[in-house]
Amino acid sequence: MLGFVARRLLYLVPVLIAVSLLTFLIASLLPGDLAYTILGDQATPEKVAALRQEMGLDQPIWVRYFGWLGNILQGDLGRSFRTGQTVLQAVTERLPISLELMVLAQVIALAIGVPLAIICAARSGGPFDRFMTGTAFGMLSVPTFLSAILLIYLFAVELRWLPATGYVPFGEDPAKNLRFMVLPALTLALAEWPGIMRVLRSDMIATLQEDYIALAKAKGLKASRILFVHALKPSSLTLVTITGINIGRLIGGAVIVETVFALPGIGRLLVGAIATRDLIILQGVVLLVGAGFVLINFIVDMLYAMLDPRIRHGRA
C-alpha cells in the first residue's frame, strides 16, 4: 500500500510541472503588454521600458518561467499590481468560501443521488425507477443560472426563508453563514445529483447481475446487506470519479453561482483578475487551482484502491 501511494505521488511531479508551464505560457501569451496594462495607455515608452526591465519582462520567456518557478518554490506566488495583495493572501481569503460551497453542494448532491440510485437499481424498470430516471434527465438540462434564480424566487422572494445574496464568514456567525450558503449549495447540488444518480444506478444494475450477488442471495443475507455491502462498494468506482471531477471543478470556484449569489469566492476572484488583466493573480490562482485538481485526482486514486483490493494489489 505504501509503495502504491509513493508511486502515485511520484506521478504528480511531472503533472504539476506541466500545469505550471501551461499556466505560465497562457498568461504570457495573452495579447497586450503587462507594463502597458499597469501604466495605462498614457504611459511614455521610456516609462514602459523601465518598468519592463524592472519586472524582468525584457528577458526571454524561459528565464522568466524559471524565475517564477523558483519564487513559487520559495512560497512567493507574486503580488497583484492593482491591489498590492499577494496571490496567497487573495486565495486564502476566498478559498474557504469556495470550499465550503463545494463541500455543501457535494454533500447535498450525494445525499439526494446515492439513495435514489440504490432504490432505482433495486427496482429497476419499475415505475419509481422510470419516474426518477426521467426526472434526473430533466434536471440535467436545467442550467445553473435558471435554477439559481428559481430558488431565489421561491425561497427568498416568495417564502422569505433565506437571504437571496450576501455572505458572512463562518467564524463570525456559523448559523448566519449557513443561511447564506444553503441556496448556492442547493443550486449546485441540483445540477449534480442527476449525474451521480444515473452513473451509480447503471453501475448498480450491472453489479446486481453478478454471480456473487446471486450467491449473496443464496446465502440468505438481508436485502439491505446485499445492496449496501455487496453491491454498493464494487459499484461506486465511477461515482467516486465523477464526484472527484465535480470537486476538482469547484475548487476553481463556481463562477455563475458565486456571481448570482454575490459570494466572494475563487470563481469571482478569477473572473475579476481576467477583467482587470491582473496577470499575476490570474496565473497564481490558476496554478493553485490546477494543483488542487491534481491533488483531488490523487485522492480519487487512493479511494479506488480502498474500494477495490485488486487495484491495491496491482492486479487490475
Which positions touch another protein (CB under 8 A)? 210-212, 214-222, 225, 229-230, 233-234, 307-310, 313, 315-316
CB of 80 to another protein, least distance (A): 49
Q: Which is nearer to another protein, 75 or 127 (CB)?
A: 127
List CB contacts of 24: < 8 A, sequence separation 6 or more.
Answer: 64, 65, 68, 69, 283
- 267 touches 234 (CB < 8 A): no
- 471543478: which residue's cell? 249
- Alpha-carbon span 121 to 116, nearest angstrom: 8
CB of 135 to another protein, least distance (A): 23
CB of 279 to another protein, least distance (A): 48
Q: Which is nearer to another protein, 47 or 123 (CB)?
A: 123
Q: Which is nearer to another protein, 198 or 230 (CB)?
A: 230
- 156 touches 72 (CB < 8 A): no
Angle between helices 174-208 and 144-151 (to 10 degrees): 130
Q: Give Cα separations from 198 to 138, 157, 194, 209 (angstroms).
A: 12, 32, 6, 17
CB of 21 to another protein, least distance (A): 39
Q: How far apart are the first and last CA of the chain?
A: 15
Dihedral, CA of residue 285, residue 291, residue 296 and residue 301, to nearest 10: 160
Q: Which is nearer to another protein, 42 or 209 (CB)?
A: 209
CB of 217 to another protein, least distance (A): 6
- Alpha-carbon span 193 to 24, nearest angstrom: 35
CB of 215 to another protein, least distance (A): 5
Q: Which is nearer to another protein, 33 or 308 (CB)?
A: 308
CB of 205 to another protein, least distance (A): 12
Q: Which is nearer to another protein, 160 or 315 (CB)?
A: 315
CB of 233 to another protein, least distance (A): 5
Residue type, 67: G
Q: Which is nearer to another protein, 90 or 114 (CB)?
A: 114
Grid cell of 211 as nine digits: 454471480
**How many CB atoms neighbour CB 268 within 10 A?**
19
- Alpha-carbon span 75 to 73, nearest angstrom: 5
Q: Which is nearer to another protein, 94 or 230 (CB)?
A: 230
Grid cell of 92 as nine digits: 486564502
Indicate if the alpha-carbon torsion angle 169, 183, 147, 129 is positive or negative: positive
Q: Which residues pair with 79 in a beta bridge?
A: 86
List CB contacts of 241: < 8 A, sequence separation 6 or more.
Answer: 300
